[in-house]
């Protein structure tokens, strides 16, 4: 397949590995209902599938892997489901962190922490501190994350600086604005994958995906494996990125 593609247009294909892959991990509920299981079971299996994505990213030489784990809108789900999801996240942050650290993974959490429990906030700080010098892969987990919220708080931060006289608003650059986003210091995603067949962003990284490649796959998140990750990277390699200029 790769050979055929390179024969069609050898000059215009980028075979680069994506530096940053971001995934909307969707379909846990449908995975469970297909098996007449409780949604909580789908979320549990979904949390287990994270391992495959990390392995896939490490194997492919990806530097940043961002996983959308819980959106700002997901707070509006039934209390029981929110509590199941928070329980899993807490477990992940405490149990998995040791093996992640051993594997050289750095963890970063993006999102609005105000609504998270004190316990989760504490484990996030601990996990980020423990892994801060690791360089094999940066795993970014979007938790209580909403992109509009992120952009709005960045706009507020800039306005506050301008009012204080610390910044000339006429001179404001994209780079300066980006410094106020949760994702500061993280390169924009090269590839966005969404599982479960839905084709939307659901308030994920709206600023950062300006020139990302999108891949929508039908696989439900709990079924996603490192092989799925590897084929996504292959598809990415066939894409032609133009950034608005002529090839």
What does the H/E/C string look like for 177-227?
HHCCCCCCCCCCCCEEEECCCCCCCCCCCCCCCCCCEEEECCCCHHHCCHH
Nearer to ligand IPE, 200 or 242 (CB): 200
Nearer to ligand IPE, 32 or 158 (CB): 32
Interacting partner of 69 out of Mg ion, ligand IPE, none (Cβ under 5 to 8 A depending on kind): ligand IPE
Nearer to ligand IPE, 61 or 197 (CB): 197
Which residues are catalytic, by number? 26, 74
Least separation in angstroms between CB 32 and ligand IPE: 8
Decide: is 96 part of the binding site for Mg ion (CB under 5 A): no
- Number of residues in contact with Mg ion under rule CB under 5 A: 1
Least separation in angstroms between CB 178 and Mg ion: 28
Nearer to Mg ion, 129 or 218 (CB): 218
Nearer to Mg ion, 72 or 131 (CB): 72
Instruction: Determine the interface stretch with Mg ion among 1-9, 23-31, 57-65, 169-177 (rule: CB under 5 A).
Output: 23-31
Q: Measuring CA to CA, how many Å separate 85 from each of 18, 20, 165? A: 29, 25, 43
Least separation in angstroms between CB 26 and Mg ion: 4
Least separation in angstroms between CB 154 and ligand IPE: 21
Binding site residues, ligand IPE, CB under 6 A? 24-30, 68-71, 74, 85, 196, 198, 200, 202
Distance separating alpha carbons of residues 181 and 205, to the nearest angstrom = 10
Residue of 21, 22, 24, 26 that binds Mg ion (CB under 5 A): 26
Least separation in angstroms between CB 238 and ligand IPE: 26
Residues 6+ apart with CB under 8 A from 62: 17, 18, 19, 20, 21, 56, 137, 233
What does the H/E/C string look like for 62-122?
CCEEEEEEEEHHHHHCCHHHHHHHHHHHHHHHHHHHHHHHHCCEEEEEECCHHHCCHHHHH
CB-closest chain residue to Mg ion:
26
Interacting partner of 123 out of ligand IPE, Mg ion, none (Cβ under 5 to 8 A depending on kind): none
Interacting partner of 71 out of ligand IPE, Mg ion, none (Cβ under 5 to 8 A depending on kind): ligand IPE
Burial of 216 from C-beta contacts in 10 A (0-12 / 13-18 / 19+): middle
Residues that bind Mg ion (CB under 5 A): 26
């Amino acid at each position: 397949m790769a050979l055929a593609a390179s024969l069609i247009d050898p000059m215009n294909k980028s075979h680069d590995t994506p530096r940053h892959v971001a995934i909307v991990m969707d379909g846990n509920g449908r995975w469970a209902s297909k098996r007449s299981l409780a949604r909580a079971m789908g979320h549990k299996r979904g949390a287990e599938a994270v391992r495959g994505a990390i392995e896939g990213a490490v194997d492919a030489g990806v530097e940043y892997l961002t996983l959308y784990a819980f959106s700002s809108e997901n707070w509006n789900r039934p209390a029981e489901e929110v509590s199941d999801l928070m329980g899993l996240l807490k477990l992940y942050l405490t149990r998995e962190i040791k093996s992640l650290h051993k594997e050289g993974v750095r963890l970063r959490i993006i999102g609005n922490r105000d609504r998270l429990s004190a316990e989760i906030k504490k484990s996030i700080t601990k996990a980020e501190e423990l892994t801060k010098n690791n360089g094999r892969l940066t795993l970014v987990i979007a938790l209580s994350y909403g992109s509009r919220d992120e952009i709005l708080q960045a706009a507020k931060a800039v306005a506050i600086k301008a009012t204080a006289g610390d910044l000339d608003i006429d001179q404001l650059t994209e780079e300066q604005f980006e410094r106020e986003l949760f994702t500061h210091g993280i390169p924009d995603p090269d590839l966005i994958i969404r599982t479960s067949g839905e084709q939307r962003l659901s308030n994920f990284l709206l600023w950062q995906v300006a020139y990302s490649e999108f891949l929508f796959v039908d696989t439900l998140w709990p079924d996603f494996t490192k092989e799925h990750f590897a084929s996504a990277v292959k598809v990415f390699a066939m894409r032609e990125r133009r950034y608005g200029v002529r090839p």
